[in-house]
Amino acid sequence: MQQMGEEYLFYLSVERGASPLTVKAYRGDLADYLGFLERAGFSDLRKVTRDDVVAYEDDLVHRDLDGEGARYSAATVQRRVSMLKGFHQFLVREGVCEADPTSRIPLPKKPERLPDVLSIEQVDALMDAVDTLWNGAIAQRNRTMLEVLYGCGLRVSELVGLDLSDVRFDDGFLSVVGKGGKQRIVPISGMAQRTLAAYLQDTRPQLLKPYSKPTAAVFLNARGGRLTRQSVHVMVQRAGKAIHVQNLHPHTLRHSFATHLLEGGADLRAIQEMLGHADIATTQVYTHVQRTHLVEEYLRAHPRAGL
């Protein structure tokens, strides 16, 4: 069974072009599923039935993760069920199994969750908090990263993946490599551009070390190497706590970028292009955020709303 698991992961990587992060996530999901089957006494994937798959899904939903009642999120359960459906479809295509036990098992519905968004005042406070938490070159670098995350709506992986050649100040754009290796152009101007220009001219040279390997990375760590996603997450969470926003994530700045653009009258298709969404439906979640905000403002401000 493990061998077929490896072949499926190879298929995802080579034939489907899945990213290394996706393959890594699926490897963990697949190991969990195959481990469940092995504990249930299975050694032959051809003998797995629909009832066995349903039992695994039920185990995912009710599994106690920490002994105190913590459960997997609906999104995690949906991803794992999606993975095992894809795995069994692969087994049928490869002739390993005659039937797909997941064919009549629907994907569990993921409840719609509106993205967390900072107010404009919170964004301003977040930027100001940097100088109270860090000093010198690190403070300037962190301020620049926050400005670019919010000013350009980048994913954290896109931020740390930026190279010097991706910065095109003359054209007013960043060249960004997004999900699936897709390249897009993102406008940069105003505060984000001024802060990034100052960082590249004055701060980045301070972070380069004589002993560090040459790098084209825009954002560097204290040793002169490319900054990691994890480091950015830690920085953003620390800055968030300083303004009393717990568990702030870099993606919240991306959500805020899109929501504030929409509230300012930007076209939804333009926002879709800037975010790098393949499907307009993904971008439309921000219209729900805007409607929620409108209702809140109405209830707060209209003299007869609370009557």
- Residues annotated as catalytic are 155, 179, 251, 254, 277, 286
Inter-residue contact 115 to 255 (CB < 8 Å): yes
Kindly give the pairing relationship between strand 173-177 and strand 167-168.
antiparallel
Cα–Cα dist 286/129, whole Å: 27
Inter-residue contact 227 to 219 (CB < 8 Å): yes
Which residues, in sequence order, are CB contacts of 216 under 8 Å at separation 6+? 163, 164, 165
Structural tokens at position 15: 């034939």
Task: Please choose, from the candidates 23, 13, 15, 33, the residue with its C-alpha nearest in 3D space to the C-alpha of residue 85.
Answer: 33
DSSP 168: E
Cα–Cα dist 167/218, whole Å: 9
Inter-residue contact 61 to 84 (CB < 8 Å): no
DSSP string over 229-257: HHHHHHHHHHHHHHTT-TT--HHHHHHHH
**What's the longest Cα–Cα distance across the chain?**
69
Cα–Cα dist 120/259, whole Å: 10
